[in-house]
Every structure is written in structure tokens, then in C-alpha cells.
Structure 1
Amino acid sequence: MTEPGRPTEIGREQIVDVVGSGAMGIVYKAHDPAIGRDVAIKVVRIEADGAEARAAAVNRFRQDVQAAGRCSHASIVGVFDFLDQGGDPAIVMELVEGSSLLFHLRAPERRAALMISRIILRVLDALGYAHGQGIIHCNIKPANILLTSSGQVKIAGFRHCECRRQFHHAVRRRGGHPQLHGARATGRRYGRSSDRSVRGWRHSA
């Protein structure tokens, strides 16, 4: 039976289950019948005052999705499509079966089993690839690093990313607005160092 308020499909994707939800939106497990694969769909709640502000917010989200979609790397969660769900933007992504690094760090027994150096090397490799494509993640943190049961490391959360051109344009236009996230605000840290210093996730290269 379908839960009240839960869609049965988004676009051509058939909704299977709810993976998680929070203040920013909800993530579904879905099935793509056209190519026979399971995917994840994140529907983002847009809070904006007025139609113009909402349209601008949706457009920024679309640009983030387009940027993330250019990244094709084994340690980056794949982005497949951008959809509209009742006026809210939705991103169709690779379904990753696993848990976040944050989940593992919170329990001493799970934390002790982690191969931290291996995880960091995988993250660095993925970020280096993204930077080479002109994309900065801007929100690297343990909650956005996924670990699968087979040992894969996957970076999620590229909806916060910036293109190099957009990054510098935003800093010039807003003069280093204090509400911009991390390196986006000042323009002083850019490239790999930008992703090293965001949200308290630090490592040595």
C-alpha cells in the first residue's frame, strides 16, 4: 500500500520506498523501468518568497545538477537526471547501498574498523577529478561521504557545488558576501584547498 502523500512515480521513475527525509527534502528509492535499474531521487524543498525568487532558486539547483552531471568518477555518486515534482526540483542519482562516514564515526567499534587513509585517498582522488572538471564540491563532510558494504567510497552532495566561472563571478558580484558558504564567500581559498576546509572536514594532502 502506498503511504499517504508519497508519490507513486516521479517522471518515469517508479517510487519504491523512502530512504530518508529532513528539513531540506526527501530521498526516495525508485526504479527506472526503461532501463531496468534502481535509482535514488532527492526532492528538494524550495523555500522562497515570491515566484521570482523561487524560479531563481530552482534555476540555481538546476545549474548545480548540470555541474554534478559532468562528473563521471567511481568515487562520485552519479547524477542521471533533473526532474520537477510538484514545483520542487528533483535529482535522479545513482543508488548507493551503504552508510555515511558520519554513521561509522559515531560508534567506537565502527570507527575502529575504518581504513581512514584509504578513505581519504579515495576522496582526494575524486575531488581532484572534480576540480579538473571545474567543479568545487563546497560541502565536504562525513555525512556526504558514503561507504558501501563492498568497500567503495562515494562522495554525495554535489548539489552544493560551484563551477569555477560561476564561483568567481559570484564573489565579484557579491563582494564576498558573508552568507556564501566557505570558500565561496571570500574567493581566497579555491580548488582543492576549498574542499579541504569546508564544514570542519580537514585532512592533510
Structure 2
Amino acid sequence: YVLTELYRQYKEGKLQPSQTMAMEGSNIVPGAGHINESPAGTVYSLDELVDYVAIYSDNTAANMLIEAVGGGGIVTQHAHELGMLDTYLEGKYYQNDNGRFQTTPDNAARLFAKLANHELNGEPWDSMLIDKLRLNSHSFLRTYLYETDSWNKSGLGAPEQNDVATFVTQYGSYSIAVYTNSWNDYDARFDQVGRLSQRVYEAFNQIRSDLWHPYDPEQGFYR
């Protein structure tokens, strides 16, 4: 949602990918990522911060981008305008004064579906964001489907292992989100979510292929 708002501001000319900002101590937090090990005052471009968020789910980089776009309230407003009414970003990652800081699998899947159909910020911005998400180094849903055109955004934490992805097949595209919590077999999460995704992929293609007809001028069948 933060990246969606960021790219909206790129589109409107309020921000540019080449713009830089210095990392302040208030944005440095633990958890996923790398730049929290850098000293305060280190300068990053917005495009570099997007890479850290997309590839490593970097919490410090995300906090910096929340600040860059004008705060979580702006992100929440944009999410609601897009129809993601269960999403709230009232604060930053690992901040004690946060309000609601949440989303749902439904909202996440809807966001990815809009992105796949270029209904977030339009072109070229949606394709630019998709290219960033293709770089994600952590995946559950794509584990056994890497030969399929796809992109994802995972969320890793102590109890939760979440992922949202879009898959593009010869019969169309679909978006799927899987959120988990407190698994008994924590180390099996990659395989189990990956196998679930594989079954959904197979079912989607089987059902769509049953409805798929080649064009026949005499019969008037269209794909």
C-alpha cells in the first residue's frame, strides 16, 4: 500500500524516484531488512528504498517511504479510495504510538488484482511497480511455480508467514493471498503454502481450459 501511494505521487509529479532522503534515527527499527545496520544520516534515493522494501521487506526503508509520502494517513486514504476498506496505516513499523496498522488477505489480493489490470496508477507506473515486485527474494506462493509469469510480496514475522501474488497463465491471470499464524510446524510453511498455491494454479487452469474455445468463423466461437 505504501508503494502504491508512492507511485501515485510519482505519477502526479510530487516525488521523483531519484529524490534522496537521509535515514533518521526515528525510522530505524528491527526486523526484516538491511539498512537498519547503517548509521543514521545515511542517504538513500527513493528508488533504492523501494528496492529494499520489494526485495527484503525492509522495515526501516518502509518507514522512510511512509514519511516520504506524507504519513500513514495518506496511504490509508488512498487504500480506501481503491476499495481496500479494511486497510489502515496509522503509524509506522515497530512504533509504540501506532493506531490501527492492519490489512486483510482480501484487501491484499484485490490490490494485486488491480495492479495486474493496471487499475492502480495506470501505465507506466503499474508496470514499473510490478517489475520491482518481481525482485522479491522471499516467496511462498511462487515456490513451485517460478516458471510461470508472476510477482509477489511476502511478509515474514515470528508467528506469521504471509504472501500475496499474481500469476499470469495462458488462460488469464489471478491474484491470491495466504496469511498464516502460529504454525505448529514452522519450518514447513514454505512447502505447505507452495503446495496450496500449486493446487490453486492447476485448478484455475483446468477450469479455464474447459471454458476455452478456439475461434471458429463458422461456429462463431471466440476465446
Shorter-chain TM-score tier: under 0.3
TM-score (norm 2): 0.23
Higher relative helix content: 2
TM-score (norm 1): 0.25
Kindly name which structure, 1 or 2, has the bigger radius of gyration based on alpha carbons. Answer: 2
